[in-house]
């Protein structure tokens, strides 16, 4: 096992730690770690990421469930269109993308490059959300549903999750706060449950389309789960908001690196 591979497995622990510390963001690093450190193809990496994100988010949501910080009705309203969208995206949309999308001279935009570029753009959006660090607060605590907007948001997040394999917490939490009027802590717990089930359902769409290396996936996921317990322990001792902003800058640098690597170098 070479040094880069070792760093790849260490990154699994770091992903879990970041999820435990700041309640999200770590999943955005899963695909780059799998692609650049463990040399897995981007399409398969997005599938593995869905499983890792789903498993770690499910474990993380248990803590919020015990504290009564999960709104199951809101989760159901948001999740139904999201579940359908993510499954269809993994089952039909991703396999339907042609290997060679278009060419400019001798340069070819392949499916792998397109997925990584799109993923980098999602990373940019996530990093800006974390760096801005604006704490969104609901003005009323009584849950009210804007059903059409919640359904549209859920479907869009489902499609994005299906394509890039990230949980989409940076999109789900603002939607829950602004559209369902959930308090922030309740939105975070509810978001984790939505991400967990949505990601695992999306992964089901890959089982028959991809050759899954289950021992590898279990090892990587297990390391990430260890990380989330470490992160949860550290979260009581560290300032999560400052960590979130610093992590946002790191994600921004990673996004620029991926864009440069895929489009320039």
Could you report the average pLDDT of every consecutive run of 10 residues in the chain (265 residues)? 84 81 68 88 87 85 85 84 84 86 85 86 79 56 64 81 70 73 79 84 80 92 88 71 74 86 78
What is the per-residue pLDDT for 218?
94
The number of helices, as runs of H, and strands, as runs of E, in the chain is 11, 2
Q: What is the pLDDT of residue 178?
A: 72
Q: Which residues pair with 108 in a beta bridge?
A: 103
State residue 138's pLDDT score. Answer: 47
Q: Which domain holds residue 256?
A: 3-263
User: What dihedral angle (degrees, nearest 10) is formed by the CA atoms of 172, 160, 252, 75?
Assistant: 20
Domains of the chain: total? 1
Phi/psi region, residue 88 (left: phi>0; alpha: psi -120 to 50; beta: rest), is alpha
Q: What is the pLDDT of residues 112-122, one digit of tens each?
A: 888 888 888 88
Residue 198: per-residue pLDDT: 82
Q: Which residues are within 8 A (CB) of 235 and not within 5 positions of it... i.e. 6 or more apart?
A: 20, 21, 22
* φ and ψ of 183, to 5 deg: -60, 155
Which H helix or E strand runs over 96?
A: helix 94-96
Query: What residues have CB less than 8 Å from 23, skipping those under 6 apart?
Result: 60, 169, 188, 192, 240
Dig out the tokens for 232 from the structure: 């949860």
* Degrees, nearest 5: CA angle 106-110-114: 120
What SS3 class is residue 104?
strand
Q: How far is CA 22 from CA 15, 89, 136, 188, in A?
A: 11, 28, 15, 10
The whole-number pLDDT of residue 140 equals 47
Q: Quote the pLDDT of residue 133.
A: 60
Q: What is the C-alpha separation between 141 and 16, in angstroms, rounded?
A: 30
Tokens of 148: 């059409």
- The whole-number pLDDT of residue 175 equals 73
């Amino acid at each position: 096992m070479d040094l880069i591979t070792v760093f790849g497995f260490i990154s699994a622990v770091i992903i879990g730690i970041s999820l435990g510390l700041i309640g999200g963001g770590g999943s955005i690093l899963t695909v780059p770690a799998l692609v650049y450190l463990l040399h897995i193809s981007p399409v398969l990496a997005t599938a593995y990421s869905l499983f890792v994100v789903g498993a770690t988010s499910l474990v993380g949501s248990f803590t919020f469930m015990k504290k009564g910080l999960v709104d199951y009705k809101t989760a159901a309203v948001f999740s139904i269109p999201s579940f359908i969208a993510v499954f269809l995206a993994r089952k039909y949309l991703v396999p339907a993308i042609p290997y060679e999308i278009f060419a400019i001279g001798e340069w070819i935009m392949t499916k792998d490059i397109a997925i990584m570029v799109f993923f980098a753009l999602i990373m940019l959006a996530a990093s800006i959300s974390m760096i801005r660090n604006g704490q969104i607060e609901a003005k009323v605590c009584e849950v009210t549903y804007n059903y059409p907007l919640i359904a549209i948001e859920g479907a869009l997040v489902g499609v994005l999750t299906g394509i890039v394999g990230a949980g989409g917490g940076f999109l789900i939490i603002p939607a829950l706060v602004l559209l369902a009027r959930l308090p922030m802590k309740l939105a975070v717990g509810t978001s984790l449950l939505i991400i967990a089930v949505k990601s695992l359902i999306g992964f089901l769409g890959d089982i028959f389309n991809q050759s899954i290396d289950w021992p590898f996936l279990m090892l990587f996921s297990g390391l990430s789960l260890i990380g989330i317990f470490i992160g949860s322990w550290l979260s009581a001792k560290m300032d999560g908001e400052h960590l979130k902003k610093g992590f946002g800058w790191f994600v921004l640098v990673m996004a620029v690196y991926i864009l440069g690597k895929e489009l320039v170098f």
